[in-house]
Amino acid sequence: MLKTTRKIILYFFIFTFVCAVVFLKTITSFRPDPVILMYHSIGEAQTDKKNSLDISLKVFEQQMEFLHRYHYRVIPLLELKNLLKENKKIPSKTVVLTFDDGYENNYTKVLPILKKYDFPATIFVIVNNLGKEKIMYDRMYKFMTEDMMREMSDSGLITIGSHTIEHRYLPGVSDEDELWKEINGSKKALEKILRKPVGIFCYPVGGHTPAIEAIVRKSGYEMAVSIKFKKGDRRDDLYVLGRIKMTDNSRHPVALWVKFSGYYLRLKEL
| Cα 124–Cα 220–Cα 243 angle in degrees, nearest 5 | 40
For Zn ion, the closer of residues 101 and 182 by Cβ is 101
Q: Which of 101, 182, 213, 222 forms a contact with Zn ion (CB under 5 A)?
A: 101
Q: Please, what is the Cα angle at 113 between 120 and 94, to 5 degrees?
A: 40
Amino acid at residue number 227: I
Q: Which residue is nearest to Zn ion (CB)?
A: 100
Stretch that binds Zn ion, among 50-58, 95-103, 154-162, 192-200 (CB under 5 A): 95-103
As a whole number of angstroms, the distance between CA 25 and CA 8 comes to 26
Residues in contact with 221: Cβ distance below 8 Å, sequence separation at least 6, in sequence order:
162, 183, 187, 198, 199, 200, 201, 239
To the nearest whole angstrom, how small is the minimum distance from the Cβ of residue 44 to Zn ion? 17
Could you tell me which stretch among 23-31, 97-105, 107-115, 217-225 binds Zn ion (CB under 5 A)?
Answer: 97-105
We find the least distance from the C-beta atom of residue 235 to Zn ion, in angstroms, to be 22
The mark string for 46-85 relative to Zn ion (x by CB under 5 A, - otherwise) is ----------------------------------------
Q: Given its phi and psi angles, is residue 89 left (phi above 0), alpha (psi -120 to 50 degrees) or beta?
A: beta
Nearer to Zn ion, 129 or 219 (CB): 129
| Residue span 170-209 as binding mask against Zn ion, x where in contact by CB under 5 A, dash where not | ----------------------------------x-----
Q: Express the helix, strand and coil content of the chain in percent, nearest 5 each.
A: 45, 20, 35
Cα separation of 114 and 111, whole Å? 5
Q: How far is the CB of 186 from Zn ion (least distance, A)?
A: 12
Count Cβ atoms below 10 Å from residue 73 Cβ, excluding itself. 14
From candidates 33, 100, 182, 213, binder to Zn ion by CB under 5 A = 100
6 or 134: CB nearest Zn ion:
134
Contacts with Zn ion, residue ranges (CB under 5 A): 100-101, 204
